[in-house]
Amino acid sequence: MATTRLMPLHSGKGRTVAEALGRVTDYVENPEKTNGGDLVTAYQCNPSIADQEFLFSKRQYAVITGRERKDNDVIAYHLRQSFKPGEITPELANKIGYDLAMSLTKGKHAFIVCTHVDKHHIHSHIVFNSTAIDCTRKFRNFWRSSFAIRKISDMLCLENGLSVIAEPKPSRGSYGTWLGEGKAPTVRDQLGGLIDTALGQGCKDFDSFLATMKTAGAEVKRGKHLAFKIPNDKRFIRCDSLGDDYTEAAIMERISGKRIVAPKARAAASSKPNMLIDIQARMQKINSPGYEHWAKIFNLKEMAKTVMYLQENHLTDLGELEKACDAAAQKFNDLGDQMKAAEQRMKDVSELQRHIGTYSKTREVYAQYRKLTGRKQAKFYEQHTSEIEGCQAAKRYFNSLGLKKLPSMQSLKQEYATLQAKKKKWYPEYKQAKAKMIELLTAKNNVERILGVTEKEKIRDRQQEAR
């Protein structure tokens, strides 16, 4: 199982950029840690002079963009990836680190990957340049980037038959913090959710209820007290310890309809389903009994989450679920189109402002140029080439828009501010619509997997609806 940590690097006080880059590359490339340098790989740079190449790209960036470096600028990013002892070879760890860096940077930033074998656990250090290879832009660390990196790392580990941390425990400043802000449900919460889900499936009697619990992966213990053990847990939990609504007598009353229990509001982490894993397809690529066992338990949990999610959102009918998916996708697309239209208009307004500003500064020079003829005009053109060409470009731009009268700069500023305010207002709704759409589509996909709905059946149903 791999853990990852991303660390932005700064030059720091009292050090130049060259010194800071040299310090980190010297450490990660240490021959005593990398098997004499055999476990060092690189992309678009020479490992032995990577720090100098990074530094040269930053100088090129300053020349191309005209932007000066600030003291707090990120000069590089240092990513550490650690693996479970005894589970991986140094060569495979280096390859996974290389694939992780390539996926994260999309091949636009130079990087080095150095795998250390001097500790009891194999780990790789990835250092990639904050400046892009073309020296025109920089890598911008994005919100929840560590979460995204963990997802990429986990997928690479699974593809190579390695275990992953399925449910990392929260901890300060490390792997567990990438779970998000939702608090993980307790074992008792999970058992209560399984019972609620089973009872919500219309059990006819107590035996069918027990059969449903077993299907969900729970083990049953009958005796003086009814108890269950949920998947991936080590001990049985008595039902009467969950509350008055979960005793054996209460469960029988709930089956018969004598007792009505309102669904509990559970943590988002326990009700939002994740995509089920196609175990057979994965096992063709990964020959790992450990992975197969983990995937089966994972799918059982996600099936329970899917059923719970559908019940909480009153989407127990497949047709209603499909309509909800279509409506959510439509809302997301509509909001996306509105935001794109606003962004495009903001770009157009900015471009128009730029040309109006150029025109106002150069039109008098251009008017003088037009009054001249012959050699005087040619000489004047040589002296004021940039102003004349700038004014001509502005006039061509105005003509392409069909403008007979130029709008005032003040009106354009007001329009830009209005669009910016709308975009800012729309973004939370857009983000929420995207999350809702993903939830519904994930649940729909899981339901189709559970029911065994094939792609041919989906196409046939669509054709019948079209008729």
Q: What is the 3-state secondary structure (H, E, C) of 60-84?
A: HHHHHHCCCCCCCCCCEEEEEEECC
Task: Give me the CATH code for the 3-179 domain, please.
Answer: 3.30.930.30
Record the tokens describing residue 208, joined without a space: 């069918």
pLDDT surpasses 90 at 280: no
Is 0.75 surpassed by the pTM of this model?
no
177 confidence band (pLDDT: 50, 70, 90):
very low
Pick the range with the lowest mean pLDDT from 118-122, 135-139, 245-249.
118-122
What gap in Å lies between CA 21 and CA 72, rounded to an integer?
Answer: 15
**Whole-number Cα distances in Å, 319 to 161, 437, 442, 447:** 38, 16, 15, 12
pLDDT surpasses 70 at 453: no
What gap in Å lies between CA 435 and CA 438, rounded to an integer?
Answer: 5
pLDDT surpasses 50 at 15: yes
DSSP 131: B
**Whole-number Cα distances in Å, 22 to 17, 49, 130, 134:** 8, 9, 15, 22
pLDDT surpasses 90 at 114: yes
Pick the range with the lowest mean pLDDT from 147-151, 258-262, 296-300, 462-466.
462-466
What gap in Å lies between CA 119 and CA 82, rounded to an integer?
Answer: 11
Q: Tell which wins on pLDDT, 324 or 292.
A: 324
Where do the domains of the chain lie? Answer: 3-179, 187-312, 326-451
Other CB atoms closer than 10 Å to residue 213's CB: what's the count?
21
First to last CA, the chain: 51
DSSP 221: E
β-bridge mates for residue 362, sequence order: none
Looking at residue 113, its amino acid is: V
**Whole-number Cα distances in Å, 244 to 218, 221, 254, 319, 458:** 21, 19, 12, 36, 44
Record the tokens describing residue 447, joined without a space: 């339901």
**In this predicted structure, what is the pLDDT of residue 373?**
92
Residues 6+ apart with CB under 8 A from 71: 11
pLDDT surpasses 60 at 76: yes
Pick the range with the lowest mean pLDDT from 182-186, 210-214, 332-336.
182-186
pLDDT surpasses 90 at 406: yes
Other CB atoms closer than 10 Å to residue 87's CB: what's the count?
17
pLDDT tens readout for residues 98-113: 999 999 999 999 999 9
Average pLDDT, integer, range 359-383:
94
**In this predicted structure, what is the pLDDT of residue 268?**
39
Average pLDDT of the residues of the chain: 82
Pairing relationship of beta strands 123-129 and 76-82 according to DSSP bridges: antiparallel
- Residue 30, CA atoms < 13 Å, CB-side half-sphere: 11
